[in-house]
Amino acid sequence: MSRLTRRTQVLLDDERYARLERRADETNRSIGALVRDAIDVAYPERGPSRKDAFDLLRNSPPADHGSPEEIKREILSGYERSEA
């Protein structure tokens, strides 16, 4: 976990604050920890960019997945197993 270095002030109405306070008491956590978790859920870090994905594929060794017929058979056998 990264070191906490920034402070911000958020104004809440009484009802929201009471909800946070109750949840903090129930989970034995701080209100700040709950707010940080809520931020992570609402605004997750973005994954790799399209360029990162392209570079990864471009720099990876070629993979032998078999012929199109072999791939089709493998896909269809997976569907058959999932329907059973």
Residue 21: inside a domain, yes or no? yes
Residue 1: inside a domain, yes or no? no
Residue 73: inside a domain, yes or no? yes
Residue 7: inside a domain, yes or no? no
Identify the pLDDT of residue 15. 96
Residue 49: inside a domain, yes or no? yes
Is 90 exceeded by the pLDDT of residue 77?
A: no
Q: What pTM did the predictor assign?
A: 0.54
* DSSP track, the chain: -PPP---------HHHHHHHHHHHHHHT--HHHHHHHHHHHHSPPP---HHHHHHHHHHSPP-----HHHHHHHHHHHHHHHH-
Q: Which domain holds residue 52?
A: 14-83
Number of domains in the chain: 1
Per-residue pLDDT averaged across 52-80, rounded?
83
Residue 22: inside a domain, yes or no? yes
Identify the pLDDT of residue 28. 95
Residue 54: inside a domain, yes or no? yes
Q: What is the mean pLDDT of the chain?
A: 87
Residue 44: inside a domain, yes or no? yes
